[in-house]
C-alpha cells in the first residue's frame, strides 16, 4: 500500500499522544464529544503568531504551554472548567522535527496539569511565520459563567497575582532590561491561568488581562457604563518588577500578556472572596466614564497609550 | 473614556453581524453554548493559508465561503448537523478594510445557507500571509457518527458529485488550463459540503476527499486493512473536466480540494442509498492492501504520487 503522507506521520508522532477519548486517534474527519450532562459549554479561540505573540527563539515547549494557557485564561475568566481543545499548526516545511516535538511536549505537560485532552485540529505548511491556534472548550453550571459586564460604581477592583511581569518579561527577552532571576521572562513565556476561582455570586464582572491593565479595565467600564480609579501604589508587583523602579510603571499599567484576572467585587462580597490565589484590591469603579490611575498624592498619571492593539 | 482599540472596532464592524446567541456580542472572553439535549457533539478545525490553500487574488467572500465549507465538509463526512463555529483571522496590518468586509460577507451568506452562527474567535496581526482557521461544531445522534474505518472487502466505493474539479480549478486559476465556463474555478473556490446525507446504517465508512481521491481512498483502506480497485471510466467528471481529455486523469485521481464524500457501502445496502446528491459507484474494496485504478482494458494505471502532503 502507498505509504501515508509525511504529514500523517508527523501528526501520529507528535500529536496523537495528546489525543483524548473522543479524538478517534486523530484519524477521522472530526472528533466526538459527549457534553457533560447539565452543563453549559464555554468556547474560546486564540491565535499566536511567531514574532507577534512569541519570539522566534522561544523554546517550543513554552510556545505550546503559552498557547494552551492563554486559552485556559479565557476559560478561567468565565469561571469555566477545562474540557478539551483543538489545535491548528501552520509551519514552514523546513521546521525541524524537534520543534514539533517540543511544542507537543509543552502541550502534554500542561494538558495533564490542567486536566484536558486534545480532540483534533489541522497541520498545514505556510510560507510565513509559524502560526498556531487553539480552540478550547470548557463547561460551567448553566447561567453561572462570569461576564465582563455587570460592574457597578462603588464595586471594588481586584486582580490576581502580580501585574506587569508579562510585558516586562518581553522587554527582558529583548535585552532591554535586566532580569537576573529570569522571573520576568518565565512569566512572559508561561503565564498562569487562574482556573478554579469560585467567583460566581461574588464578582459582578470578570475578565483576563491580556492587552494591558488600563485597556482591559476600560473594557469592563465600557461594558458597564461606568468609570474607574485605581491607585498606582496598590498595584501588586513581583519583586523582579519592583526592582526595576518607578520608570516602568507605564509598562506595568499598559503592557499586555499578564493573563491575571481583573475582577469587580461589590464591597459586601469582599469577605467571601476565595483564597485560591493571591488577590489584591487596586481601586474601585466610579460614576462617569473616566478611567484613571492616581499616584500617592491623588494626582492622575498620564499614560501615552492604554494598551495593545493589533490593528 | 479612552476609545476602544482599532481591533475592537474591526471586530464589531465585520464579525459581530455573524455572531449567534451564545456569542455574547463577541465582547466577552469566551462564548456560551447550550449543547442540544441527547446529542453527541462533533468537532473539527481547519486552517487556510494565503498562497497555500487559497490564492492571493481570490475574492475574499470566496475565501470566507471556502473556509467555512471545508470545515462543514468534515462535519458532513461524519454525518453531523452544523451548530456553530469559531474563527481566527491573522492578517497583515495593512490588509484593506474591504478585504475583511468581503470575508465576512462570504461567511454570512454561507452560515445563513447552512444554518449556523459564529460563537467567537480571535483577530491578530501577522507579518506573514493571511492565515485563517475555523473550528466548527456540529452534532449527531449518539453513536451514529460515520467513521473512516469499517470498510470490508466487497463493499462498493461510491462518491458524491464529480471528482477532480477542485484541482483542475486551481490549474485554471493559475492560467495553466482553459476554463471557458468558469465552472472549475468556481468549484475550487466554493466547494459544496455534502451535508444532510443520511448514511447511518447504510455506509460502512465515509470521509471527505480533500487531499486527492487515491490518497483519501488509501486512508479508508489503511483504516480497514483492505485494498481497493476503482475503474477510471466510472469516475464521475463534470463536463468541464471531461472536455480537458484523458491527459488530466492523474490530476483527477490525485488532486485535492474536491470535498466530495467517499463512501463505502455493503452491496446489500445499495438500494437504500439516499438520493440527496448525485452518487456514483466507482469500484470496490478488496482483500489485500493494494489500491489501484484500472483503465477500460483492466490494466492498472501508474500514478506519480497519490495526493497532497503539506510536509
| Mutation for testing the A interface, residue in B53, B122, B143, B229 having most A CBs under 10 Å | B122
- Overall number of domains in chain A: 2
Residue finishing a domain among A106, A140, A174: A140
The pLDDT-based confidence of A306 (bands split at 50, 70, 90) is low
A80-92: pLDDT as tens digits: 999 999 999 999 9
- Length of chain B equals 311
Same-domain status, A75 and A204:
no
Same-domain status, B164 and B285:
yes
Same-domain status, B241 and B170:
yes
Same-domain status, A166 and A133:
no
At residue A305, the pLDDT reads 67
Residue % of chain B over a pLDDT of 90: 91
Is the CB of B94 inside 8 Å of chain A's CB atoms?
no
pLDDT over 80 at A221, yes or no: yes
Is B276 within a domain? yes
Nearest one of B56, B53, B45, B50 to B211, comparing CA atoms = B53
Quick one: residue B24, left, alpha or beta (phi over 0 = left, psi -120 to 50 = alpha)? left
Per the CB < 8 A criterion, the answer to whether B213 and B163 are in contact is: yes
B242-273: pLDDT as tens digits: 999 999 999 999 998 999 999 999 999 999 99
Q: Show residues of chain B in contact with A147, CB under 8 Å.
A: 24, 28
Per the CB < 8 A criterion, the answer to whether A275 and A212 are in contact is: no
Total Cβ atoms within 10 A of residue B48: 22
φ, ψ at A188 (rounded to 5°): -65, -40
At residue B1, the pLDDT reads 62
Contact A88 B47 (CB under 8 A): yes
Residue finishing a domain among A73, A106, A140: A140
- Cα(first)–Cα(last) distance of chain B, in Å? 49
Is B306 within a domain? no
The pLDDT-based confidence of B5 (bands split at 50, 70, 90) is confident
At residue B308, the pLDDT reads 67
Q: If you average pLDDT over every residue of chain A, what do you get?
A: 95
At residue A302, the pLDDT reads 81
Is the CB of A94 inside 8 Å of chain B's CB atoms?
no
At residue A5, the pLDDT reads 74
Contact A41 B33 (CB under 8 A): yes
Same-domain status, B194 and B260:
yes
Same-domain status, A126 and A188:
no
CA distance A21 to A32: 8
Residue with cell 466577552: B28
- For A35, the closest of B41, B74, B145 (CB atoms) is B41
Q: Show residues of chain A in contact with B218, CB under 8 Å.
A: 1-2, 4
A50-67: pLDDT as tens digits: 999 999 999 999 999 999
Name the residue range of residue B228's domain. 156-294
Contact B27 A307 (CB under 8 A): no
Same-domain status, A132 and A79:
yes
CA separation, residue A166 to residues A44, A45, A190, A201, A261 (Å): 21, 20, 9, 30, 13
Is the CB of B29 inside 8 Å of chain A's CB atoms?
yes
pLDDT over 70 at A45, yes or no: yes
Contact A5 B137 (CB under 8 A): no
CA distance A102 to A36: 32
Q: Show residues of chain A in contact with B53, CB under 8 Å.
A: 124
Same-domain status, A172 and A273:
yes
pLDDT over 70 at A259, yes or no: yes
192-251 in chain A: CB under 8 A from chain B:
207-208, 211, 214-215, 218-219, 221-223, 227
| Mutation for testing the B interface, residue in A11, A20, A25, A28 having most B CBs under 10 Å | A28
| Mutation for testing the A interface, residue in B4, B5, B14, B87 having most A CBs under 10 Å | B5
Is B1 within a domain? no
Same-domain status, B24 and B128:
yes
Q: How many CA atoms lie within 13 A of A311 on its CB side?
A: 21
The pLDDT-based confidence of B7 (bands split at 50, 70, 90) is confident
Q: Return the CATH number at A246.
A: 3.90.650.10
Is B266 within a domain? yes
- For B291, the closest of A1, A135, A310 (CB atoms) is A1
Contact B125 A49 (CB under 8 A): yes
Cut 0.90: pTM above it: yes
Q: Return the CATH number at B55.
A: 3.30.1330.10
Total Cβ atoms within 10 A of residue A286: 17
Strand pairing class (B40-49; B131-140): antiparallel
At residue A311, the pLDDT reads 72
Strand-pairing partners, residue B133, are B47, B88
- Length of chain A equals 311
Q: 3-state class of A309 per DSSP?
A: coil
Residue with cell 526595576: A244
Residue % of chain B over a pLDDT of 70: 96
Per-residue pLDDT, averaged over B23-37, amounts to 94
Same-domain status, A120 and A160:
no
A107-150: pLDDT as tens digits: 999 999 999 999 999 999 999 999 999 999 999 999 999 999 99
Q: Show residues of chain B in contact with A93, CB under 8 Å.
A: 310-311
What ipTM was estimated for this complex? 0.95
Rounded to the nearest angstrom, the minimum Cα separation between A181 and chain B is: 31
At residue A2, the pLDDT reads 64
- For B43, the closest of A31, A133, A308 (CB atoms) is A31
pLDDT over 70 at A195, yes or no: yes
Residue % of chain A over a pLDDT of 90: 91
At residue A272, the pLDDT reads 97
Per-residue pLDDT, averaged over B102-125, amounts to 97
B148-207: pLDDT as tens digits: 999 999 999 999 999 999 999 999 999 999 999 999 999 999 999 999 999 999 999 999
Rounded to the nearest angstrom, the minimum Cα separation between B249 and chain A is: 19
Per-residue pLDDT, averaged over A257-268, amounts to 97
CA distance A232 to A283: 9
DSSP A6-68: HHHHHIIIIIGGGB-GGGGGG-SSSEEE-PPTT-EEEEEEEEEEBTTTB-TTS-HHHHHHHHH
Q: What is the DSSP letter of B299?
A: P
Is A11 within a domain? yes
B84-93: pLDDT as tens digits: 999 999 999 9
- For A309, the closest of B5, B22, B27 (CB atoms) is B5
pLDDT over 90 at B299, yes or no: yes
Burial (CB < 10 A; 0-12, 13-18, 19+), residue A98, is exposed
The pLDDT-based confidence of B8 (bands split at 50, 70, 90) is confident
Is the CB of B141 inside 8 Å of chain A's CB atoms?
no
A139-157: pLDDT as tens digits: 999 999 999 999 999 999 9
Rounded to the nearest angstrom, the minimum Cα separation between A180 and chain B is: 31
Rounded to the nearest angstrom, the minimum Cα separation between B287 and chain A is: 12
The pLDDT-based confidence of B18 (bands split at 50, 70, 90) is very high
At residue A236, the pLDDT reads 98
Is the CB of A299 inside 8 Å of chain B's CB atoms?
no
Q: Show residues of chain A in contact with B119, CB under 8 Å.
A: 43
Same-domain status, A122 and A215:
no
147-166 in chain A: CB under 8 A from chain B:
147-149
Is A89 within a domain? yes
Same-domain status, A164 and A134:
no
At residue A10, the pLDDT reads 92
At residue B40, the pLDDT reads 98
Is B127 within a domain? yes
Is A150 within a domain? no
- Chain B's closest residue to A135, CA to CA, is B135
Amino acid at each position: 500500500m502507498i505509504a501515508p503522507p509525511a504529514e500523517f506521520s508527523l501528526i501520529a508522532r507528535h500529536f496523537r499522544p495528546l489525543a483524548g477519548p473522543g479524538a478517534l486517534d486523530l484519524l477521522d474527519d472530526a472528533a466526538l464529544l459527549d457534553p457533560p450532562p447539565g452543563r453549559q459549554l464555554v468556547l474560546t479561540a486564540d491565535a499566536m503568531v511567531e514574532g507577534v505573540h512569541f519570539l522566534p527563539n522561544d523554546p517550543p515547549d513554552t510556545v505550546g504551554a503559552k498557547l494552551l494557557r492563554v486559552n485556559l485564561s479565557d476559560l478561567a475568566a468565565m469561571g469555566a472548567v477545562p474540557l478539551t481543545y483543538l489545535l491548528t499548526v501552520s509551519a514552514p516545511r523546513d521546521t525541524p522535527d524537534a520543534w514539533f516535538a517540543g511544542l507537543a511536549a509543552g502541550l502534554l505537560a500542561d494538558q495533564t496539569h490542567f486536566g484536558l485532552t486534545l480532540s483534533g485540529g489541522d497541520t498545514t505548511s505556510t510560507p510565513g511565520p509559524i502560526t498556531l491556534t487553539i480552540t478550547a472548550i470548557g463547561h460551567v453550571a448553566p447561567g453561572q459563567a462570569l461576564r465582563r459586564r455587570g460592574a457597578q460604581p462603588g464595586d471594588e477592583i481586584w486582580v490576581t497575582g502580580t501585574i506587569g511581569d508579562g510585558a516586562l518579561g518581553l522587554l527582558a527577552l529583548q535585552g532591554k532590561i535586566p532580569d537576573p532571576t529570569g522571573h520576568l521572562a518565565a512569566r512572559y513565556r508561561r503565564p498562569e491561568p487562574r482556573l478554579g476561582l469560585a467567583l460566581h455570586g461574588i464578582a459582578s464582572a470578570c475578565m483576563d488581562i491580556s492587552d494591558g491593565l488600563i485597556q482591559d479595565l476600560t473594557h469592563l467600564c465600557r461594558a458597564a457604563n461606568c468609570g474607574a480609579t485605581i491607585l498606582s501604589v496598590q498595584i501588586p508587583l513581583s519583586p523582579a518588577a519592583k526592582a526595576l523602579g518607578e520608570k516602568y510603571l507605564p509598562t506595568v499599567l499598559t503592557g499586555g500578556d499578564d493573563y491575571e484576572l481583573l475582577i469587580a467585587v461589590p464591597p459586601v462580597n469582599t469577605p467571601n472572596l476565595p483564597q485560591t490565589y493571591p488577590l489584591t484590591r487596586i481601586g474601585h469603579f466610579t460614576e462617569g466614564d473616566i478611567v484613571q490611575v492616581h499616584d500617592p498624592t491623588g494626582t492622575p498619571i498620564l499614560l501615552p497609550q492604554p494598551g495593545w492593539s493589533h490593528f
